[in-house]
Amino acid sequence: MNAALGLANQGFETVIVEKEPELGGLSRQLSTTIEGADIQKYLDDLIKEVMSLDKIQVLTNALVVGFGGFQGNFTTEVLVGPTMYERKINHGVAIIATGAREYTPKEFLYGQDERVITQIELDRRIEEKGASDLHRVVMIQCVGSRNEENPNCSRICCQSAIKNAFHIKSLNSDTDVWILYRDIRTYGLLETYYAEARRRGVKFIRFDKETPPIVESGAEGLTVMFKDHILKQDIRVLADLVVLSAGMVAQDTEELATIMKLPLNQEGYFMEAHVKLRPVDMASEGIFVCGTAHGSKLISETISQSLAAASRATTFLSQSEITLSAVTARVDEDRCAACLICVRSCPYGVPKVNEKGVSEIDEALCHGCGICVAECPAKAITLNWYEDDQIMTKVDALLEGAYA
């Protein structure tokens, strides 16, 4: 929504394609940031502003089913609403902002005992019931992150645990809060909140990956057993609630990535073209990425990246003409056997077999990498400005006089 506002406020028409019945995504389940900002108020104001602008169209219950074209001339096919009527949208750029969701734990009796909840569920519980009935709360970090299935850190879990610990302590200072962690990763200025949590009496206990805590359910409460790495002893704690700091996982990106021919990383997030030089650009020209579609991050980071994506899109849309590279691949139809090797080898999915039964390469989409030229067994594909005669002439000139 911030990216759409950034574009609309500069005079560009924008269409938001929302899969869910309403805007907001995962942020609808959150209450405040660790700094104390009211997320729901910010979200409501943002939605009102988006809905009030004529330059922005919002399509809810919408599903992308087709995508084609090239930079400045894309066409997206969308099924909209309960009736799933089809609509085609012509547009110059695309910003991918599919978001993410909380990992659903399979560990520590989650789903088997209602007293085992996630950090987001704890946030809602505190808002609804307060913390007067909580005497001891044990939080377990790195649930669904930093394992074989998802080796990366989700980055948000530590600050979420500390934020909720603050909230509990502010409502009931007598509540005993334990945070069992592998590593605390409150990066940047968030480190001050970690230090403040220790001053307020929140207990931080480290555990090893090889010996995770054990949670058992009983009539008196939940029993959490873990080994203290300093005392070298097993400790047993009786808790009213066990809160799992579940990581963040990508939101059903495989189908969309297949339709739009966009690369994903191992965790299912969309990959940028270059982590430092082009952090919001995707490999395909005219397509940008922002927010948790790119990876797990805080709301403040998501907003910053959305504005960066809008800025990059603006620099593209503001041009009256697009200059394409002269270095593109070209197919000799007479020599093409339609073996599909170029189709399979192209990292950008550009070559395709046309109605004539031969390979065709759209010069507007071609990146000029030359992979299809090297792979073609019939030598039916040539790369402009890098043709065989040109290369061999350079080789002859380079070696001239070498054998004199």
**Residue ranges of domains in the chain:** 2-99+251-317, 102-248, 329-399
User: Is it true that domain 2-99+251-317 has CATH number 3.50.50.60?
Assistant: yes
Work out the angle at residue 216's Cα, subtended by the Cα atoms of residues 212 and 219, and round it to the nearest 5 degrees: 160
End-to-end CA distance of the chain: 69
Amino acid making up residue 273: A
Q: Choose which CATH entry (3.50.50.60, 3.90.650.10, 3.40.50.1000, 3.30.70.1050) describes domain 102-248.
A: 3.50.50.60
> Beta 352-353 vs 14-17: how paired, if at all?
unpaired
Tokens of 8: 């609309």
Sign of CA dihedral 304, 142, 103, 281: positive
What is residue 403's predicted lDDT score, i.e. its pLDDT?
A: 64
Instruction: Report which of 158, 166, 122 is spatially closest to residue 29, judged by C-alpha positions.
Output: 122
pLDDT in tens, 80-108: 988 889 999 999 999 999 999 999 999 89
Decide: helix, strand or coil at residue 301.
Answer: helix
Neighbours of 17 (CB within 10 A): 19
Burial bucket for residue 220 (CB in 10 Å: 0-12, 13-18, 19+)? exposed
Neighbours of 198 (CB within 10 A): 12
pLDDT in tens, 130-186: 888 889 999 999 998 888 888 888 888 999 999 999 999 989 889 999 999 999 999
Instruction: Report which of 142, 137, 134, 138 is spatially closest to residue 107, judged by C-alpha positions.
Output: 142
Which residues contact residue 287 at a Cβ distance below 8 angstroms, ignoring those fewer than 6 apart? 93, 94, 95, 96, 260, 262, 281
- CB-CB contact of 164 with 126 (8 Å): yes
What is residue 404's predicted lDDT score, i.e. its pLDDT?
A: 56
Distances (CA, A) of 41 to 47, 190, 299, 307: 10, 23, 14, 20
Distances (CA, A) of 130 to 122, 127, 294, 341, 377: 10, 6, 34, 62, 70
Tell me, yes or no, if the two domains 102-248 and 329-399 fold the same way.
no
How far apart, in whole angstroms, are the C-alpha atoms of residue 369 and residue 373?
A: 9
Which residues contact residue 147 at a Cβ distance below 8 angstroms, ignoring those fewer than 6 apart? none
Q: What is the overall mean pLDDT for the chain? A: 90
For the chain, counts of helices (H) and of strands (E): 10, 21
Instruction: Report which of 290, 294, 284, 278 is spatially closest to residue 259, judged by C-alpha positions.
Output: 284
pLDDT in tens, 345-392: 998 888 989 888 899 998 888 888 999 999 999 899 999 888 888 888
Amino acid making up residue 286: G
Q: Which CATH class is domain 329-399?
A: alpha beta
Q: How sure is the predictor about 79, in pLDDT bands with cuts at 50, 70 and 90?
A: very high
pLDDT in tens, 262-316: 989 888 899 999 989 999 999 888 899 999 999 889 999 999 999 999 999 999 8
User: Is pLDDT of 5 > 60?
Assistant: yes
Which residues contact residue 226 at a Cβ distance below 8 angstroms, ignoring those fewer than 6 apart? 180, 205, 207, 211, 212, 213, 214, 234, 235, 237
Instruction: State the average pLDDT over residues 391-396.
Output: 88
How far apart, in whole angstroms, are the C-alpha atoms of residue 162 and residue 177?
A: 10
